[in-house]
Amino acid sequence: MILAALKGLAALPRLVDAVESLGDIATAQLAQQRKDEKDSDVLDIIAAARERRVSKREAARLLRDSGEEPSGDGGRDSDGGGS
C-alpha cells in the first residue's frame, strides 16, 4: 500500500508537466484563434475600403460623364474654351 502511494507520488511531477503542457497548448490555440479573427477583420476592412474607393471612382466618373454630355461641346474639355 505504501509502495503504491510512493509510486504515485513519483509520477506526480510528470503529471504536473503534462497538465502544464496542455495549458500551453490551449493558450497557443486561443492565441492563434485571436490572430485568425484579427486577420479576418483586417481583410474585411481592406475589402470595404476597396469597395468604397471603387464606388467613389465610379460616382466621380458618372458625374464627369453627365457633366460633359449635356454641354454639347463635342467632347472638348469643359473649361469653357472658345466662348
Quick one: the chain helix, strand, coil %, rounded to 5? 80, 0, 20
pLDDT of residue 17: 92
Dump pLDDT digits (tens) for 36-55: 999 999 999 999 999 999 99
pLDDT of residue 5: 83
Say how far apart CA 49 and CA 20 lie, in whole Å: 43
Q: For the whole prediction, is pTM greater than 0.85?
A: no
56 vs 76, residue with greater confidence: 56
Residue 77 has pLDDT above 80, yes or no: no
